């Protein structure tokens, strides 16, 4: 039995995007995504159990998610209206309040490592384009086309042919939150944004407080319609309810996802200082996974 008066020693939650995820998805496609999520959860769990810091764990989890072409971050990122990739990422250390974020990234293989670099070495929080990429001279570079997969090209073509934003509601973005054995919290998020976004459009992922937030009470990583997350400053809205209104994480996330964000706009993963995990969403599904020191370990797509 877990003694709930004691914090859960470590906990981690990840996501691979929320949105319109058809239940008619071929079972094989669902299985592959679940297996990939499980691998990332297992690796993060092993690292936390071994005493790795939350900040390092969320960075590594997101780097692994960026490598999975089924998810919209790193390789497999969606395409802009011009048929190119503009990547975004952010990372935040809840114990220090330090954060780093990048946007309009075109050639760095792991945008999350670049965001960590900004956190570690820059007096600024958010850097864009060439200025951001110059921070990671030693980080692996790839051509912009390297990020494209046949599926993303097909989705882009559909978007172009129908001139509709229908796909812009598709699942996107990856993220991770963690509490480590010292009680430190951290959050990290990475995305290609939305299919057909105009070049230069920046979403909630690298906007600290909107799609990514961590402090000493909670860590939050969001996914969904970035403009909605920015308009309600979703990540910080969760933290503010806890800090200023004394609400529990479960209540805070339900208010933000259920009341502040428009129905169908997305979801988030969050963990509090007690190691309690929440993964609410207000759309069809959210690729997600969670584990903690009590032995919990799960991955899911739909409700």
DSSP string of 15-76?
EEEEE---TTS-HHHHHHHHHHHHHHHHHHHHHHHTT--HHHHHHHHHHHHHT-TTSSSSTT
Closest residue to ligand ASP in the complex (CB): 226
With CB under 6 A as the contact rule, the residue among 86, 204, 215, 292 that binds ligand ASP is 204
Choose the binding region for ligand ASP from 133-141, 178-186, 197-205, 269-277 (rule: CB under 6 A): 197-205
Per CB under 6 A, 190 contacts ligand ASP: no
Choose the binding region for ligand ASP from 44-52, 93-101, 201-209, 254-262 (rule: CB under 6 A): 201-209
Per CB under 6 A, 223 contacts ligand ASP: yes
Residue 47 or 115 having the CB closest to ligand ASP: 115
In sequence order, which residues have a C-beta less than 8 Å from that of residue 186 and are 6 or more positions away?
A: 53, 54, 55, 57, 58, 91, 92, 93, 94, 95, 177, 178, 180, 214, 219
Indicate if 121 belongs to the active site: no
Binding mask 225-244 for ligand ASP (x = CB under 6 A): -x------------------
Cβ pair 189, 211 in contact under 8 A = yes
Q: How far apart are CA 280 and CA 254, in angstroms?
A: 7
For residue 106, give the 3-state DSSP assignment. coil
Shortest spacing between CB 252 and ligand ASP, in angstroms: 20
Binding mask 137-176 for ligand ASP (x = CB under 6 A): -----------------------------------xx---
Q: Which of 80, 148, 173, 212 is catalytic?
A: 173
Per CB under 6 A, 17 contacts ligand ASP: yes
Applying CB under 6 A, the site for ligand ASP has a residue count of 14
Of 268, 267, 266, 269, nearest to 290 by C-alpha is: 269
Residue 135 or 174 having the CB closest to ligand ASP: 174
Rg (CA), the chain: 17
Q: How far apart are CA 32 and CA 245, in angstroms?
A: 41
With CB under 6 A as the contact rule, the residue among 80, 190, 191, 221 that binds ligand ASP is 191
What tokens does 56 get?
């390092």
* DSSP H/E element including 272: strand 266-272
Instruction: Name the residues annotated as catalytic.
Output: 173
Q: Which residues bind ligand ASP (CB under 6 A)?
A: 17, 19, 172-173, 191, 193-194, 203-205, 211, 223-224, 226
């Amino acid at each position: 039995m877990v003694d709930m008066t004691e914090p859960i020693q470590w906990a981690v939650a990840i996501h691979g995007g929320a949105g319109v995820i058809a239940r008619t998805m071929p079972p094989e496609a669902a299985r592959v995504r679940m297996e990939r999520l499980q691998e990332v959860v297992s690796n993060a769990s092993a690292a936390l159990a071994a005493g790795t810091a939350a900040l390092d764990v969320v960075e590594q989890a997101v780097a692994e998610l960026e490598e999975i072409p089924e998810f919209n971050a790193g390789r497999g990122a969606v395409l802009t209206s011009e048929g190119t990739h503009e990547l975004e990422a952010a990372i935040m250390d809840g114990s220090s309040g330090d954060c780093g974020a990048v946007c309009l990234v075109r050639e760095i293989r792991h945008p999350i490592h670049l965001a960590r670099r900004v956190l570690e070495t820059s007096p600024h929080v958010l850097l864009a384009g060439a200025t951001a990429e110059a921070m990671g001279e030693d980080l692996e570079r790839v051509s912009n086309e390297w990020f494209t997969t046949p599926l993303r090209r097909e989705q882009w073509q559909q978007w172009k042919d129908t001139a509709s934003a229908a796909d812009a509601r598709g699942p996107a973005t990856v993220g991770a939150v963690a509490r480590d054995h010292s009680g430190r919290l951290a959050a990290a998020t990475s995305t290609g944004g939305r299919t057909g976004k105009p070049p230069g459009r920046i979403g909630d992922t690298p906007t600290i407080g909107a799609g990514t937030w961590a402090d000493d009470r909670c860590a939050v990583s969001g996914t969904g319609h970035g403009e909605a997350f920015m308009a309600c400053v979703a990540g910080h809205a969760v933290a503010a309810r806890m800090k200023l209104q004394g609400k529990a994480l479960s209540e805070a996330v339900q208010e933000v996802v259920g009341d502040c964000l428009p129905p169908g706009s997305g979801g988030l993963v969050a963990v509090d200082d007690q190691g309690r995990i929440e993964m609410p969403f207000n759309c069809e599904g959210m690729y997600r996974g969670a584990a903690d020191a009590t032995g919990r370990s799960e991955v899911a797509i739909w409700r």
